[in-house]
Structures are given as structure tokens and as C-alpha cells.
Amino acid sequence: MGKAALIAIAVAICTDPAFAQGTEQEREACTPDAMRLCGQYIPDADRITDCLRNSGPRLSPACYAVFYPPRVVTQTPPRAGAQSPRRMPPPPPPEDDDDD
């Protein structure tokens, strides 16, 4: 592939809003995949983006992480005043049998 074609691919990818918002590192991660998997859509940036997104498991690990970042699972904090369903109330204090 000629130098002009590589530049056209890079420009098409870099001007796409999805990639424009990403870092240069993210764009660089997907440029080889764009050429390998989606070359027939050059210079249409929207079609390249759709092609990459639809390529899923065929993407390189670096580009896959751009389109499908790992999800961070967070637990939602309990609501104020809410008790967890299995939590028992504390036992009552012992009664004082002493009549002093």
C-alpha cells in the first residue's frame, strides 16, 4: 500500500468523531486494523468506524480495547437508612436482675 493511501486512512480515521475524541494512542491502535479489515471503505470514516466496531473479535487486542473497553463493576452504595435484607437488629441489652 502506498504512502498516500496510508495518509488517507490516517486522515479518515482521525477525522471521525469517535476517534477524534480518543487519544492519539487509541487512534494508532486501530489504524492497522482499519487497513487490514476495512480498507474497502477508505476514505469513508463513518463506514470504517462501523466496520471496525462490527469486526469485534477479529480486532487486535489494542483496538478491541478502544471499541469495547473493560467494564468496571461498582457496587451502588446502600440508601440512607436502609438495612441489608439479611441483617438482624442488635440483641436487647441484658436485664439487670439486681434490686439494689
Q: Strand, coil or helix: what is 78? A: coil
Q: Average pLDDT over the chain, rounded to whole?
A: 75
71 pLDDT tier (thresholds 50, 70, 90): confident
pTM to 2 decimal places? 0.53
* Per-residue pLDDT at 23: 82
The answer to whether 80 touches 61, Cβ cutoff 8 Å, is no
Domain boundaries, the chain: 3-67
Predicted local confidence at residue 86, as pLDDT = 61
pLDDT tens readout for residues 13-51: 554 555 545 688 888 999 999 999 999 998 888 899 899
pLDDT of 45 reads: 84
From the CB of residue 37, how many other CB atoms can be counted at a distance below 10 Å? 19
Nearest to 28 by CA among 40, 18, 14, 15: 14
Sequence-ordered alpha helix ranges (H) in the chain: 3-15, 17-20, 24-38, 45-55, 61-67
